[in-house]
Structure 1
Amino acid sequence: MRSEYLAATALALFVAALPGRAQTDDAVLKAAYIYNIAQFTVWPANAGTRPLNVCVASGHALWQSLRQLHGKPVGERKVAVVEPAAGTACDVTVLRAGAVRPAADGTGMLAVVDEPATGYAGAVALVEEDQHLRFDIDTKEAARAGLRFSSRLLRLARNVR
């Protein structure tokens, strides 16, 4: 319970980042958001203790920052940052703006879209607003994937649908 409180506090601090955040590397901050959001996601019971695969293309702007999270704990699991490939079970998929909705339903895959433009915005959308990084949550998309979010996370989101 104490670690959940500390993680919620850390996420709240990221959400309330000061305008001076421009000095902070944008990719590092986004990677921290993704990590904290993963901690407040209720994953399917069948996930067990296998690694929490964060799938992101090596050419994506967040690749290097997400790689820094490799091996960090999310509950009983450890983060593994991998490139998406056939046969790879992705728990978190980081997509670029304008991405097409992944075909998998009920598989427990959390889709995070970085700066969505129009169209699909995933279960989580990372959005820059007034020099702050915010996030939106689509609970229907999460439910479609078989996921739920902590009420603490929902309270921190800019928009919840």
Structure 2
Amino acid sequence: MRAILTALALTLAVPMAGCNQDASEVESVATIPVTITAKDQTHRFNVEVARTDAEQDKGLMFRTSLPADSGMLFPFDKPRIGSFWMKNTLIPLDIIFIRADGSIDRIAENTIPESLEPVVSGGEVSAVLELAGGTAARLGIDETAKVAWKDGK
């Protein structure tokens, strides 16, 4: 029984993206342009890039607003199942899970602020883009759209 409890404690201790940073640890993050081509329209966003584990853990936590043309990009070193939660995230977000070819795997629209429920991709993804909640619906962005950015590491 003790081994099961220890294994469970270790499993629960593994952080999900956006979960274990303090509001006092806010620091400036690099921004890049991201385009989403949906049907006949191209939408441009200037987004922060969360490259490090610390930046990805922090995400958009503690923000009280997000401009309509901004967001945060979470690029991964190699494709994986994306799993995020909204702990300490005070605003609804559209979470766009992006495959290696720029196609969209899944869009989780208007996620619930401060929810501990995991928001998971449908398959392996190379990046995740978070935008202000309602952006995808407002701009007609769906899973047929393509996402592109220049990786200026």
Q: Which TM-score bucket, shorter chain as reference?
A: under 0.3
Q: Give the TM-score normalised by structure 1.
A: 0.25
**Structure with the larger RCO, 1 or 2 (CA within 8 Å, 6+ apart):** 2
**Bigger proportion of residues as helix:** 1
**Bigger proportion of residues as strand:** 2
Q: Give the TM-score normalised by structure 2.
A: 0.26
